[in-house]
Chain A
Amino acid sequence: MNVGLDIKELNEKIQRESEFVDLIQMEINKVIIGQKHLIDSLLIAVLSNGHILLEGVPGLAKTLAITTLANTIQAKFSRIQFTPDLLPADLIGTMIYSQKTENFTVKKGPIFSNFILADEINRSPAKVQSALLEAMQERQVTIGEQSYKLDEPFMVLATQNPIEQEGTYPLPEAQLDRFMLKVIISYPTKEEEQRIIRINVAKEFPKANAIVSPQHIIKAREFVKEVYVDEKIERYILDIVFATRFPQDYKLEKFKEMIAYGASPRASIFLTLAAKAHAFIKRRGYVIPEDVRAICHDVLRHRIGLTYEAEAENITTEDIINEILNTIEVP
């Protein structure tokens, strides 16, 4: 069989250029036990220039995962604990008056890093969240009258605390939409947790080595863009997104009253980009339906609004996405 000449070349190129992904995964796996989905999601977001919203109980190696990823690609990492008294200046930086020079000098905030862990983002008031989300969108911040470009690669990994609701400021839907993926982290398996116990008791923490440079990641993003997406796959993605908006057109009348609003066009864009990145980390030069399926939940779960009827009947966005995937014909 001859794979189409362009695709064959592309496939070979992608296989060649995506070698580093396996190495990064190996290095991260030395430090992180389990959490394969989290690591894949981090790589997808890094390679497709997106941001991740994480949800999971404390102690599931969120910070360790992103620190390790930062180490493997020699990137700068900042962790910001969002608190109710945090100010935008604490995040992006401010102008400080120097008596010695009699001038204002710029003090850059922790956002000037490659990877930001915005811990418990829903603990801060809206103005701080807006400052962060604006930086995520614009890739630059303005201090005083001067705008500063943020370092590339730039990725925000925000966590939301799902347990405590008191004293929190949940992110509005429009701002949630800016996160490419919302990843739900689950507990490790028994075997994985047994290995975690042994490592922690022995205090022999392995360290991840640097594999690639940030420039390598920026270059890899260009290869990800080149991954071939057939028209059939595009139509499959559109069917999935449109099914969240008009479920009655896809034999899903039962969800018509359950969905307050469907996924935005950003969902279609991010589904395509994330599917390409998934194909890249699987070292393929073209997207197949498996890639779309693999990232579908993470892309869509925070973009579907549920009605009170859905909440009353304990219908979750996961149920809706599962039903959509089980109903729409695979190309």
Chain B
Amino acid sequence: MMTKLTHIIVTIVYCLAFLHSSSQVLNVQAELNRNKCLIGDHLTLSLTLSKPLHSTISFPVLTDTITKSIEIIQKQNIDTITKENQQITLKQNFIITSFDTGLITIPPLPFVLKNDSITDTIYTNPITFSVYALPVDTTKQTIFDIKPPIGEPFSWKEFLPYILWSLLAILIIATAIYVYLRIKKNKPIIPIPEKPKDPPYVVALKQLHELKEKKLWQKQLYKQYYSELTDILRIYLEEQYQIPAMESLSSELIEHLKNRSFDEELVRNMQSLLTTADFVKFAKATPLPDENDWHWKNAVAFVEQTKPVMEEKNSESKGGEHD
């Protein structure tokens, strides 16, 4: 059973020029369906306006709150209740609530009267209602921690785009670094596989035969002949035995050969070759034709007798297979 908490606060009768009879009245009311509730519970506030039919009076403009403690949850449209004898009664309902405990007061709400020459405001009565909190027995009730956020289940689908973008970024960065390093080292960006190199002794023997065919000393180009002859041997020693021959003096080179325990005669012949080459290169010496040929033969003999034994066997066995 609903208790009606009707309080008529103000009944003002204006004797206005535009009213045709003294029986026409203006009346405003504010009512609550209950005068107490639990915290957060809903209450219905009804605003009623009774006015002459042709008068212009506007309802209070309420948005989402009435006061700091009273929130409007739902606002209903203005409804016509009665309409008779040039008198009309209008009503608007609001669903309100409060999250503060204690005695809460709805303040007087303004209805604005507008006429050609007059503007005035009529207020409703203030209404008070009580808000109660749920009783908690702290002696029996234990305190609980705030519940953590609810975790979403892991999904690969959600992470897949991030993983793919990261992999793409890593790929692009790695490619950029690779290209930069290749360019910096003056190498082709896409490496071209090199042909397997011939063993140093094969190269040396080939170059020695090419040198002979050039017939340099026969053309009086002794300096070029001995420079090329010694260079072939120096490169051979460097690549085959890792002796820093190109940067060594003739005397140092002979010391290296002696330390490698090569055949004494080979070393002696090599020393003779290097000495002759130094004479030719630095003292414009002109060796005899026999001497030039003898040094060439010694150079070939040096390479032949110092080439690695294993490689020779391998090459022989390969040759046998072909036969």
Contact = CB atoms under 8 A, between A and B. Distances in A.
Contacts of B291: 1
B251 A286 contact: no
Contacts of A325: 247
Interface string A177-206: 000000000000000000000000000000
Centre residue among A233, A288, A290 by max chain B CB count within 10 A: A288
Interface in B251-288: 251, 276, 278-279, 281-288
Contacts of B281: 230, 232, 331
A228 interface: yes
Nearest to A293: B249
A287 interface: yes
Nearest to A324: B247
Given A290-B249, A293-B249, A232 B285 contact: no
A329 interface: yes
Contact of A288 (B248, B278, B284): B278
Nearest to B286: A2
> Quick one: which of A1, A11, A233, A285 has the most chain B CB within 10 A?
A1
Given A288-B278, A326-B244, A3 B283 contact: yes
Nearest to B246: A329
Interface centre among B283, B286, B287, B288 (most CB of A within 10 A): B283
A138 interface: no
A328 interface: yes
A64 B97 CA distance: 117
A286 B276 contact: no
B247 A289 contact: no
A142 interface: no
A330 B248 contact: yes
Contacts, number: 63
B251 A290 contact: yes
A131 interface: no
- Interface size class of chain A, counting residues whose CB lies under 8 Å from the partner chain: 20 to 34
Given A230-B281, A288-B278, A1 B247 contact: no
A323 to B, nearest CB: 10
A328 B249 CA distance: 11
Nearest to B288: A1
Interface in A1-52: 1-4, 6-7, 11
Contacts of A7: 283-285
Nearest to B281: A232
B247 A2 contact: no
A285 to B, nearest CB: 7
Interface string A309-331: 00000000000000001111111
A232 B230 CA distance: 14
B251 to A, nearest CB: 6
Nearest to B245: A330
A1 B291 CA distance: 8
Contacts of B244: 326
Contact of B284 (A6, A290, A293, A326): A6
Given A288-B278, A326-B244, A1 B285 contact: yes
Contacts of B286: 1-4
Nearest to A229: B282
Contacts of B276: 1
B247 A230 contact: no
Interface string A191-226: 000000000000000000000000000000000000
A279 B282 CA distance: 12
Interface string A156-188: 000000000000000000000000000000000
Interface of B: 227, 244, 246-251, 276, 278-279, 281-288, 291
What 5 A-B pairs come out closest when comparing CB atoms?
A: A4-B284, A286-B283, A3-B285, A1-B287, A2-B286
Given A3-B279, A289-B250, A330-B248, 11 more contacts: A1-B287, A2-B285, A3-B286, A7-B285, A228-B282, A230-B283, A230-B284, A285-B283, A288-B282, A325-B247, A326-B247
9 contacts: A2-B287, A3-B279, A3-B285, A4-B283, A287-B282, A326-B247, A329-B246, A329-B247, A331-B281
